[in-house]
Chains A and B, each alone.
Chain A
């Protein structure tokens, strides 16, 4: 990169905010999807919104592509640098700016960790509902970009439901405010569009979050079944009974073994483990928990445990939340996949996965958010065995195709990023993708903000032919936007 530009960057973010040494740059060459790597030209670590704006303005002027980065835990290559571009790391923008308990709102900078929000408000009996398993280390900015989910999103909704407003540096360096503290601000729901846009529409520098009051009681049940099919039948029974649990998670035997090896969660060794959490008013939860137990029993559960203390509850969750990393204990390498199917298609898809796995000679551990049909097949392989990585990748892609054929999605929470671009065309027709990219053309016509991600082919953005006619009132000078 031109040294004068580097100098300019340095003048904006300060000496310690600019990284250009190759050894240091390597830290930023990938995110959680480690088999894709690109070395950025430089990494900038701004401290303030103004610094982010300053950096982005230079990028815009020089047509340098940039990629925002939170904690780099993304699993689809969202924060993977782009060739010839820079990375803007947001870890220094990590202040919780305002906590407004009466209105259940918290304003944060993007580098704040997900769990910090809950920690900040839990003394007042509140929590921040979206709880990705990576919540101790992932940033709110990353959550916003990915529209991250978590086990409790079944009842409480994904990140998008909990983001009320955003301050965003657009790819030309200008600053806009989308949404706000109060609901239904006039105009298009651009905050709704920005959430989940995977860093392609600009950089969020402030986020207004909604927090939720902790329910009166929380009860967590663990049920052991012989197979995921039986456990799946219990899930259908629970939903069919008109309940909306806070979470319904499932693990198969391989995933249980991994969790046991890694965190000793004390799970029963079974073919299908179900974790059901109910929350709400005590009287109601107690009654419904009895119903859940009897549904589990009638579907073949041979062991049912309800956590008797907060410590037991945390232990149950620990096994589930550490499942991805735990798989490292039973396999040298693995791919974390993320697909969604309509919940009723789960049993069929699981047996299909089993069939594909057997045919390929590749083991698949299954951990999933059963309540909303979000599968996380963990495809296990050993890179040292020639051809295995290739077979594992193919298998994981075949699983995605299964999901789409079943009427589902190629990603429920990890995003499209770099990894799944090509699958967008499996899920959507060309006109669908072209239409989505109209939004991109409005935000980032020069394709500078995380370009080449999400869409298989970028749409050329032209200022579209159109006739702007001022409103007759504007012409007459009578309309005032008061």
Chain B
């Protein structure tokens, strides 16, 4: 990047002094962010060190990419600049599990799998399933607002997070929220930080409310004749009194759409609910529910290149129309779609194509379809050459100016992930 106002050479001596020379290393090509090559990786060992690194970078106009394990680093627009990768991996403790209060404090670099393992020692969990839990850090999951099948029952991360510590570019370490489930003192910065893609500050710690591990779990799967009856069934389940903890649809171009329903609780309660569910599903055919059905979302990330991976959001009543629209849009193409969505209307779509595929035209077409439904479509993965021509997020609407003002307050010099978020933030 040849922007003269921006310091591009990272003066490493000062950085080494903050974190210790052992925790600073040159970046390699494996650290590139969407093709932009950072120069250094810095791994602070405490919140305070992390805040000092940020303050230092801010004073020099060095652009920072906060990073956990990097599993979702390509989510976002191309960065404008990326000189320094700030890794949270040394901040990896479960700070406290207050199991009597059903809350836990965890550092940003802690892996979701490790966190869950600690919680399970007292029969508890964060009622949340994210992608690649054994490789994803809590900070990264929060920053990307990644959510899976439990959301329909237990809420999104925004509903489970109760406290946060943020390191700001000016070196401030700020806490918001707290350790109690119920708390309305001050603005809700945990929600602001969730899904902000590291563009406002670096999350160093988070506090969550927890749920008990269930006594028993059972999943049932159904095959439906077409997307219309699939949608009818999804709505019937949602309109029933069933207390499911997962309601998922799966669709691809070969097979009729499938629905998965998960129940948790006492074995007796699950039996009774399963019977009630079967009375709703007359038009569908029950099929074997494999233990990995709830990993089908994650499985969308395996397959051939080139591909396009999108996150979409529509109303629950539009899931059928959405499937129909996607398949219609692709009729003339040689792309193979696979789609996994939650009953909430949130889902993920993978399209595999060929080198000559006109991805731009496809994205435009999909967005048009989504617009007409009033939904949104974000691109999580596409060939890099395509990415440089799109805004992966899509339009924000009339709050875009306000979002810029929020960004400007937290990160006035725009050193955090510049360009990666909505509207060029």
Contacts and interface: CB of A to CB of B under 8 A. Distances in A.
Contacts of B5: 467
A373 B158 contact: no
A193 B191 contact: yes
B237 to A, nearest CB: 10
Contact of B423 (A149, A181, A183, A187): A187
B397 interface: yes
Contacts of A183: 156, 313, 344-346
Given A182-B313, A186-B394, A424 B185 contact: yes
B166 interface: yes
B412 A411 contact: no
Interface in B205-250: 211-213, 215, 235, 238-243
Contacts of B398: 175-177
A474 to B, nearest CB: 6
Contact of A436 (B187, B240, B394): B187
Nearest to B316: A103
B403 A242 contact: no
Given A213-B241, A482-B364, A416 B394 contact: no
A184 B188 contact: no
B182 A178 contact: no
Contacts of A22: none
A182 B409 contact: no
Secondary structure call for the A interface: loop
Contact of B422 (A105, A147, A187, A341): A187
B328 interface: no
Interface in A327-348: 340-344
A192 to B, nearest CB: 3
Interface in A257-301: 280-284, 287-288
A334 B21 CA distance: 61
A439 B424 contact: no
Given A192-B192, A215-B241, A288-B266, A464 B408 contact: yes
Contact of B77 (A431, A432, A471, A482): A471
A336 B227 CA distance: 54
Given A284-B268, A427-B185, A473-B388, A236 B156 contact: no
Interface string A447-482: 000000011000000011111111111100011111
A243 B213 CA distance: 10
Interface residues of B, number: 105
B358 interface: no
A182 B314 contact: yes
Name the residue among B182, B374, B405, B412 with the largest chain A CB count within 10 angstroms: B182
Interface stretch (A64-72, A131-139, A309-317, A402-410): A402-410
A196 B191 CA distance: 11
Nearest to B313: A182
B155 A161 contact: yes
B266 A283 contact: yes
A188 B195 contact: yes
Contacts, number: 321
Interface stretch (B8-16, B95-103, B113-121, B131-139): B95-103
A340 B166 CA distance: 23
A146 B140 CA distance: 30
Given A416-B186, A435-B176, A187 B156 contact: no
Contact of A187 (B102, B179, B403): B403
Contacts of B397: 177, 180, 185
A121 to B, nearest CB: 12
Closest A-B pairs by Cβ, 5 of them: A284-B269, A192-B191, A466-B412, A242-B212, A435-B174
6 contacts: A284-B265, A284-B269, A342-B103, A439-B187, A467-B413, A479-B391
Interface of A: 100-105, 125, 146-147, 149, 153, 157-158, 160-161, 170, 175-178, 180-190, 192-193, 195-197, 213-216, 236, 239-240, 242-244, 280-284, 287-288, 340-344, 369, 372-374, 407-416, 420, 424, 427-429, 431-436, 438-443, 454-455, 463-474, 478-482
Interface of B: 3, 5, 61, 77-78, 80, 98, 100-103, 123, 145, 147, 155-156, 158-159, 166, 168, 172-176, 178-189, 191-192, 194-196, 200, 211-213, 215, 235, 238-243, 265-266, 268-269, 271-273, 311, 313-317, 344-346, 364, 367, 374-376, 378, 388-391, 393-400, 402-403, 405-406, 408-414, 418-419, 421-424
Given A149-B182, A373-B180, 18 more contacts: A147-B188, A160-B159, A160-B191, A187-B400, A188-B200, A213-B241, A215-B243, A340-B183, A372-B180, A373-B181, A409-B184, A415-B184, A427-B178, A435-B168, A439-B189, A464-B409, A473-B389, A481-B396
